[in-house]
Structure 1
Amino acid sequence: MDELVERLSKEGQKVVVGGPSPSLEEFQRRLTEMGYVFVKFPDSGGTTDLGVRVDEAATDLGGADFAKGTGSVHVEGTLTLNYVQVRCLADIDLTSLSGSGHLVALAP
């Protein structure tokens, strides 16, 4: 398995909302309208910022209050990292736009 994918597959990695302009409003828009979010792994040795296609069925926005900027969301989605198909799982606190997450390799 690719070394970066293997490192990011360890559960409990620190994650933050990434992308060109990370904000609560942008995160909400990407989740609800675009279906594509950025999840950054700041401790990956190179600050890996991944673009994730959101899996609406597996993503849970039920604990989020975007109007107040409180609560948390569980985000799941897929991407290809270094030629390896992976699933990204992340729990993001809306107050800090950070949380924990990891990758799961979908193919050997």
Structure 2
Amino acid sequence: MMNELVQRLSQGNHPVEVSLRPKKTATALKERIDLGYIHIKFTNTQGGTELGVRLDPNACDWSQTDFDRPAGTIHLVGHLTLNYVKVKCIADVDLQTLEGQGHLEPIEPVSPAVIS
């Protein structure tokens, strides 16, 4: 049986937003991208699920974005471990609202977590 949260977030696209503190701006997002690490929040889970994602710069695409205006859509791809499952997080985010759609893809065969 696959981990329930990983399974749910791996099926179809889900509403997401980029979590930025203290200010939620395109400039703050660009700073996080330059550091190679962002937080993506899946907003349709109970209380929201915020994930720290290490970006894969070769898989991301910000060529259609203008961080100064801000305008365009940014394609973010990164990796993390959620509930002992290695996953890829893929999100397309509108630079004006910093919201969009995303999903997870398990990287390895998923087995139930063993708790001893």
- What band does the TM-score fall into relative to the shorter chain? over 0.9
CA contact (8 A) 2:20 2:29 kept: no
CA contact (8 A) 2:26 2:68 kept: no
Tell me which amino acid in the other structure corresponds to 2:64: G
Tell me which amino acid in the other structure corresponds to 2:30: Q
Deviations 1:39-98 (A, max 9, x none): 000101230010000000000001110000110100000000000000000000001100
TM-score (norm 2): 0.88
SS at match of 2:72: strand
Check if 1:38 corresponds to 2:31. Answer: no
Q: CA deviation at 1:2?
A: 0.7
Check if 1:27 corresponds to 2:34. Answer: no
TM-score (norm 1): 0.94
Q: In 1, distance between residues paired with 2:20 and 2:3?
A: 23
* Aligned-pair Cα RMSD in Å: 1.0
- Asked which structure has the greater CA Rg, the reply is 2
Structure 1 residue ranges without an equivalent (≥5): none
Q: How does 1:2-21 map to 2 (within 5 A)?
A: 2-21=3-22
